[in-house]
Structure 1
Amino acid sequence: MVSPNQHVQTTVLVAGLRAPTTARTNPSDGTTQPAEPFGNEAQAFVEDRLLQRSVQVQLLGVSPNGILVGSVRHPVGNIAEFLLKEGLARCVDHHSTWLGPEMGKLRQAEKSAKDGQKGLFRGTVQQRTGASGEAEAIVSRVFSADTLYIRNKVGQEKRINLSSVRQPKPTDPKQSPFGAEAKEFLRKRLIGKHVKVQTDGKRPATEGYDEREMCTVSNNNKNVALMLVENGYASVIRHRMDDPDRSPIYDELLAAEEAAQKEQKGMWSPKPPKQPTYVDYSESLEKAKRQLTLLSRQRKVPAVVDFVKAGSRFTVLVPRENAKLTFVLGGIRAPRSARGPNDTAEPFGQEAHDFATRRCMQRDVEIDVEDNDKQGGFIGQLYVNRESFGRLLVEEGLASVHAYSAEKSGNANELFAAEQKAKEARKGMWHDWDPSQEAAENGEDLQEAPATNGVNGDAAPRTKDYRDVTVTYVDPHTARLKVQ
């Protein structure tokens, strides 16, 4: 009834659900198609409550077949909820954006029927989704816009996928250019941050894919998947009707995706993004020397650690110069880690590599460039949260001071103090440090000298005599000096 004087008779699909079909007769050949299980019961349920009754119909849209879709309200509520509670229908996702918050009520009604094994769900065994409670973790690496590596409180790392969302498809020419931008969006917000993780389910291993853990991740009470979808950096997966491994805010994700598409955000924009092109200046020594001239004039240059090659060796990106560098920490030497499954690491080499990965991987850092090595690497200092990472590595006993390069870089005192601190704490490579043995190796005599020219049998006090000298020769085998 459009008005007291105007009536319209039409077919309306009830939004948010699909009920089983009733028995039908094919008009072309007269054959009868039997009803689906509980199809006749669902029809009788609706007839008893709505036929010849005054109801309110809110039209929401049109189906692909041109049929109106709407919400039908009985005097005591939405008929869809009552159907779902009795197990006489199933929820469908494609009406979610039309219904908004109302969709959540329908899902709760369906869950009630499943738990009570009513109607369509009678005799069914609910799938175990592997869902778990909320846990805290640190994001250690952003693999892509929908895949993260997280580390728990005891230091164990695992790979997880964000529930119900997908990164821009690498195979789609319109979406793939936004893949790097979406990954960077997450890196800036999550790397090294504390997050809350709830496992929604697990996907078993298939050919070419390992088992995947589907999780809801939140940072500062913000759902990470929702942030991605709102900014057009992820699309929402269309689950099967019986797929339980989905985000608990699935309907919000669908609504956010529709809004992002309308506003042409992110990968829904018709314009491709500007992708930075990084030049690898460590490809050759000649290119490295040219870039050294520019970088050595600057201090605390902003950079991003793209990869950790070893405890003291990194691949860094310098966005403002569009430069990619192999960066080596100056003034120290970290033990070498294994470079492959058949390689053997030096003692504490893997520990140094792991420490550098935890502290530096994908982090925003600052670098001071001092020199080049023979392979085109850039030697200098790297700062994480304004702290010298070289000093941190030495303090943990995971690197030793290289005296010559430390003096050259101007931070020798700081590094030697850090090394002495690690020795006294017996950390890392200094776990069996013996000060007397070190003194003997350095040619020092720790035994008390006999009393000569002293008072009351005490040893005579040593006198210090500093003189300016010039080093004329350094023996390459013994490191002995000749001075004049």
Structure 2
Amino acid sequence: PLACRHAGKASGGPCRTVLSGCAIIVRGQPRGGPPPERQINLSNIRTGALARRAPQSQPDQKDTPDEPYAFQAREFLRKMLIGKEVCFTVEVKTVLGREYGMVYLGRDTTGENIAESLVKEGLANVRREGIRGNNPDQVRLCDLEDQAKASKKGMWAEGGATNTVRDLKYSIDNPRNFVDSLHQKPVNGMTHTHTHVRAVSLFSYWSLLKCPTFKREMDGTETPEPFAAEAKFFTESRLLQRDVQIILESCPNQVILGTILHPNGNITELLLKEGFARCVDWSMAVYTQGAEKLRAAEKSAKERKVRIWKDYVAPTANLDQKDRQFVAKVMQVVNADAIVVKLNSGEYKTIHLSSIRPPRIEGEVNVTVDYIRAATTASETSSVPAFAERTCATVSIGGINIAEALVSKGLATVIRYRQDDDQRSSHYDELLAAEARAIKNGKGLHSKKEVPIHRVADISGETQKAKQFLPFLQRAGRSEAVVEYVFSGSRLKLYMPKETCLITFLLAGIECPRGSRNIPGNTQVAEPFSDEAMAFTKELVLQREVEVEVESMDKAGNFIGWLHIEGVNLSVALVENALSKVHFTAERSSYYKTLASGEEAARLRKEKIWANYEEKPVEEVVHVSEEKERTANYRAVYVTEITDAMHFYTQDVETGTQLENLMETMRSEIASQPPVEGSYAARRGDYCIAKFADGEWYRARVEKVESPAKVHVFYIDYGNREVVPSTRLAVIPPAFSTRTLAAQATEYAFAYIQVPQDEDVRAEVVDNLVRDIQNTQCLLNVEYSGASCPHVTLQFADSKDDVGLNLVKEGMVMVEVRKEKHLQKMVTEYLNGQDSAKSARLNIWRYGDFRDDDADEFGYKLKK
């Protein structure tokens, strides 16, 4: 009663799927999209049911095994029909829409009858209850079944049915070991669905692609993403129920990743080439069949803008070919991922290595621009750039990719991108593979060994240290050095590898044009050709290995001497190129004749600084600045911290109420919405909030990150420092940033006194200061500028006594004699205090035969 006879015309199409031994799906002709499909069930016969896995949502249900010969019948049809044209006639159609009929191999009904072939091989039963004696086709089925029984074929064989039931397993106890045992060995299998692959008892995922998918909505319906149906049809028409081989690539997080191999081609490559898929970056590193082919296929689809790439715009689409690829000379290595190069036009350009991140070459290099990272601003309302525009490129020299070399040695890591972010290195897969090797071999950043500490002492501007160091450099003659920085044409910072220290070095024998600089209350304008002189020095020596001869040092602790690079004296080179004049101090040097002849030749050529020599002789003008009077403008401050170097931090009393209100509001907000512990990733220079030992949160700045357990922070409102784990740090709420209220702790140093170089003496002075002024209110007056902070005098709020002068009078410190005329009254007062301490032989003056030159030489390590 649920079915009716339906004698229809013969129809046909390719066989898409064999569902069982007696049911197939036939595909129609595609018209503007995936074609329609029809399920045809073979009439008059019955085959065994295939195994079914119990729904995981119903744990009380059990898996259903194969019925005898069910799988063999399905395999018989699959090998016979998949991908081939079949013809069918529908005999019966149920009210539920299920169609039963006859299926023939080929384009018409003259082909092989599929039902008869199954019965003949003993793989199907005939439904005799529905047989009509006047139907010759049905009678023939009964005859063929009798013949199969007589021949004991298939299910009619004696005692053979139990061997036809598969022992299926739907999960693997240890997938990782399973993959390792078969790594890169082809596994025979058969594809069942578009997304998943079943190989014998194995499930695995395509490891390299991301295709458009069907999204399941809350109501259970599926919504296809653009081109999802087309991609599904593309894959099914080539792979579904085909015999394939699978390469097991990896097993992250207990999920098996594999690659499907087919005799007619690589479906992965075809999907990419036709624009149906994109490469998955994180798994490309484990691909063993040639990742470059996949990237090339994806690139071809992008260039043709097919399917998912129809709106694709290349990162370098707006660049001319000459801007995309060029040869340049390396001028400076800024850091591990950035270099400054000089183009043939003379222009300087900063290049960042694509797709790598370093931990915070001389000759020509080949540069291929991969993308330009646009400048970003600090916030939507700010026009101040947080990061300038970056030109990111692949840089190679001698056929070696610099970025890949860094990554392979564990000196940089590869950046992970969003799947739709195409701004990446053109050799991204090689970078991923190099990183995988570095991780496996424990190189550099990936090593489990303790990170070696490279200690470098910076004695630039440290007069006392420089004095101690000077005799060694003078006796050494020529010393090896590396130019770390060029301040001007004749002023450089050098790294001395043998002594592991940094020094400031001034070129001897020349007078180089001075660049612009800021001085207190004014800006010094650059002299002509100062920029050209600095550029000349940079191009010749920056970050190069050089040799230096140290002759002397100035009162600021800067060394003076001669610098040589590959036989060229830099002082002579500057003079010969009309970028410097000979200084009278060169007369006693062995290089004077060379300098004088070079200057004469440049003067005759009338180049650069000598261009107007005859027309307008240089006249030396002495500028006499009017001496100003010392101003005493004391203001109330609160001393919050005193450092081991005798510097101290203060807060202005006037803004103290603002800080208290801000801290109270901030802590209240944090208490209502506590930060997630461990969610903050500290980076050097970032402002954050840190939980102090008292359990309260304070504003801070990250100064150094050794590890997540050791982060150096500076409390910006109080001046103290601490090493804390990152779990005690959090993002600073925007309402309490330094834009709302500037950092309140200001650093100062004592005026008119010398900081003791002896650690024990200095520690005793610091202890006295901590006892007398820390966490107390004082009066402060700025006396003069210093190298790192202003130098001030400090008075006790109640007695108005000078704190620094008291230290001098107690014989705790020595006086620093200043030359400025307007400061002489204060200097005299301090010197009188020092004389009284000497007379009383207090503290450092307790030894009677002490000499001032000894103090200058050794700094408080006094003779008895």
Q: Is the aligned partner of 1:211 residue 2:398?
A: no
In 1, the alpha carbon distance for the partners of 2:615 and 2:225 equals: 85
What pairs with 1:55-454 in structure 2 (closer than 5 Å)? 55-64=244-253, 66-100=254-288, 102-121=290-309, 123-130=310-317, 132=321, 133-168=324-359, 170=360, 190=361, 192-207=362-377, 208-340=386-518, 342-403=523-584, 405-434=585-614
Q: What's the offset of the Cα at 1:102?
A: 1.9
Letter aligned with residue 355 of structure 2: S
Judged with a 3 Å threshold, the aligned counterparts in structure 2 of structure 1 residues 3 and 357 are, in CA distance, closer, same or farther, namely closer
Judged with a 3 Å threshold, the aligned counterparts in structure 2 of structure 1 residues 13 and 285 are, in CA distance, closer, same or farther, namely closer
After TM superposition, the score normalised by the length of structure 2 is 0.45
The answer to whether the Cα contact below 8 Å between 1:71 and 1:78 also exists between their aligned partners in 2 is: no
Q: Which residue is equivalent to 2:228?
A: 39
Judged with a 3 Å threshold, the aligned counterparts in structure 2 of structure 1 residues 73 and 103 are, in CA distance, closer, same or farther, namely same
Judged with a 3 Å threshold, the aligned counterparts in structure 2 of structure 1 residues 380 and 23 are, in CA distance, closer, same or farther, namely closer
Structure 1 residue aligned with 2:202, among 3, 10, 16?
Answer: 10
Q: Structure 1 stretch 358-367 or stretch 427-436: which is displaced more?
A: 427-436
Judged with a 3 Å threshold, the aligned counterparts in structure 2 of structure 1 residues 326 and 116 are, in CA distance, closer, same or farther, namely closer
Q: What's the offset of the Cα at 1:305?
A: 1.4
1:270 aligned counterpart, secondary structure: coil
Q: Which residue is equivalent to 1:467?
A: none
The answer to whether the Cα contact below 8 Å between 1:381 and 1:388 also exists between their aligned partners in 2 is: yes
In 1, the alpha carbon distance for the partners of 2:435 and 2:546 equals: 34
In 2, the alpha carbon distance for the partners of 1:342 and 1:391 equals: 30
Q: Which residue is equivalent to 1:177?
A: none
* Deviation readout 1:1-21 (Å, 9 max, x if unpaired): 9789xx823322122102222
The answer to whether the Cα contact below 8 Å between 2:340 and 2:349 also exists between their aligned partners in 1 is: yes
Letter aligned with residue 602 of structure 2: A
The answer to whether the Cα contact below 8 Å between 2:460 and 2:557 also exists between their aligned partners in 1 is: yes
Q: Is the aligned partner of 1:52 residue 2:230?
A: no
In 1, the alpha carbon distance for the partners of 2:240 and 2:616 equals: 99
1:94 aligned counterpart, secondary structure: helix
Q: Structure 1 stretch 112-121 or stretch 101-110: which is displaced more?
A: 112-121
Judged with a 3 Å threshold, the aligned counterparts in structure 2 of structure 1 residues 425 and 100 are, in CA distance, closer, same or farther, namely farther
Q: Per chain length, whose mean CA-contact separation is higher, i.e. which structure has more relative contact order (CA < 8 Å, sep 6+)?
A: 1
Q: What's the offset of the Cα at 1:277?
A: 2.5
Letter aligned with residue 514 of structure 2: R
In 1, the alpha carbon distance for the partners of 2:215 and 2:517 equals: 68
In 2, the alpha carbon distance for the partners of 1:266 and 1:400 equals: 48
Q: What's the offset of the Cα at 1:220?
A: 1.6
**Which 5+ residue runs of structure 1 have no aligned equivalent?**
171-189, 439-484
Judged with a 3 Å threshold, the aligned counterparts in structure 2 of structure 1 residues 347 and 36 are, in CA distance, closer, same or farther, namely closer
Q: What's the offset of the Cα at 1:72?
A: 0.8
Letter aligned with residue 329 of structure 1: L
Q: What's the offset of the Cα at 1:271?
A: 2.8
* Deviation readout 1:13-46 (Å, 9 max, x if unpaired): 12210222247598xxx72232333323322322
In 2, the alpha carbon distance for the partners of 1:83 and 1:350 equals: 56
Q: What's the offset of the Cα at 1:63?
A: 4.5
In 1, the alpha carbon distance for the partners of 2:242 and 2:492 equals: 74
In 2, the alpha carbon distance for the partners of 1:128 and 1:322 equals: 43
Judged with a 3 Å threshold, the aligned counterparts in structure 2 of structure 1 residues 309 and 435 are, in CA distance, closer, same or farther, namely same
1:296 aligned counterpart, secondary structure: helix
In 1, the alpha carbon distance for the partners of 2:390 and 2:412 equals: 18
Q: What's the offset of the Cα at 1:291?
A: 1.1
Letter aligned with residue 575 of structure 2: V
1:77 aligned counterpart, secondary structure: coil
2:528 aligned counterpart, secondary structure: coil
Q: What's the offset of the Cα at 1:100?
A: 4.2
In 2, the alpha carbon distance for the partners of 1:436 and 1:206 equals: 49
Q: What's the offset of the Cα at 1:398?
A: 1.4
In 2, the alpha carbon distance for the partners of 1:72 and 1:436 equals: 82
Letter aligned with residue 329 of structure 2: I
Q: What's the offset of the Cα at 1:81?
A: 1.6
Judged with a 3 Å threshold, the aligned counterparts in structure 2 of structure 1 residues 62 and 278 are, in CA distance, closer, same or farther, namely closer
Q: Which residue is equivalent to 1:186?
A: none
Judged with a 3 Å threshold, the aligned counterparts in structure 2 of structure 1 residues 293 and 73 are, in CA distance, closer, same or farther, namely same
Judged with a 3 Å threshold, the aligned counterparts in structure 2 of structure 1 residues 105 and 373 are, in CA distance, closer, same or farther, namely same
The answer to whether the Cα contact below 8 Å between 2:515 and 2:526 also exists between their aligned partners in 1 is: yes
Judged with a 3 Å threshold, the aligned counterparts in structure 2 of structure 1 residues 129 and 240 are, in CA distance, closer, same or farther, namely farther
Letter aligned with residue 93 of structure 1: D
Judged with a 3 Å threshold, the aligned counterparts in structure 2 of structure 1 residues 376 and 411 are, in CA distance, closer, same or farther, namely same
Letter aligned with residue 420 of structure 2: D
Judged with a 3 Å threshold, the aligned counterparts in structure 2 of structure 1 residues 437 and 117 are, in CA distance, closer, same or farther, namely closer
* Deviation readout 1:437-482 (Å, 9 max, x if unpaired): 89xxxxxxxxxxxxxxxxxxxxxxxxxxxxxxxxxxxxxxxxxxxx
Q: What's the offset of the Cα at 1:338?
A: 1.1
Letter aligned with residue 425 of structure 1: R
Letter aligned with residue 158 of structure 1: K
Letter aligned with residue 196 of structure 1: N
Q: What's the offset of the Cα at 1:435?
A: 11
Letter aligned with residue 386 of structure 1: G
Q: What's the offset of the Cα at 1:213?
A: 1.0
2:537 aligned counterpart, secondary structure: helix
Q: What's the offset of the Cα at 1:217?
A: 0.9
Larger Rg: 2
1:342 aligned counterpart, secondary structure: strand
In 2, the alpha carbon distance for the partners of 1:162 and 1:387 equals: 32
In 2, the alpha carbon distance for the partners of 1:218 and 1:3 equals: 42
Q: Percent identity?
A: 39
Judged with a 3 Å threshold, the aligned counterparts in structure 2 of structure 1 residues 88 and 422 are, in CA distance, closer, same or farther, namely same
Q: Which residue is equivalent to 2:751?
A: none
Q: Which residue is equivalent to 2:717?
A: none
Q: What's the offset of the Cα at 1:311?
A: 1.6
In 2, the alpha carbon distance for the partners of 1:67 and 1:430 equals: 75
Judged with a 3 Å threshold, the aligned counterparts in structure 2 of structure 1 residues 284 and 52 are, in CA distance, closer, same or farther, namely closer
Q: Structure 1 stretch 51-60 or stretch 130-139: which is displaced more?
A: 130-139
Q: Structure 1 stretch 390-399 or stretch 338-347: which is displaced more?
A: 338-347
Q: Structure 1 stretch 310-319 or stretch 333-342: which is displaced more?
A: 333-342
Q: Which residue is equivalent to 2:761?
A: none
Letter aligned with residue 238 of structure 2: R
Letter aligned with residue 421 of structure 1: A
2:523 aligned counterpart, secondary structure: coil
The answer to whether the Cα contact below 8 Å between 2:212 and 2:225 also exists between their aligned partners in 1 is: yes
Judged with a 3 Å threshold, the aligned counterparts in structure 2 of structure 1 residues 74 and 352 are, in CA distance, closer, same or farther, namely same
The answer to whether the Cα contact below 8 Å between 1:16 and 1:103 also exists between their aligned partners in 2 is: no
1:274 aligned counterpart, secondary structure: coil
Q: What's the offset of the Cα at 1:370?
A: 0.9
In 2, the alpha carbon distance for the partners of 1:250 and 1:82 equals: 21
In 2, the alpha carbon distance for the partners of 1:141 and 1:202 equals: 20
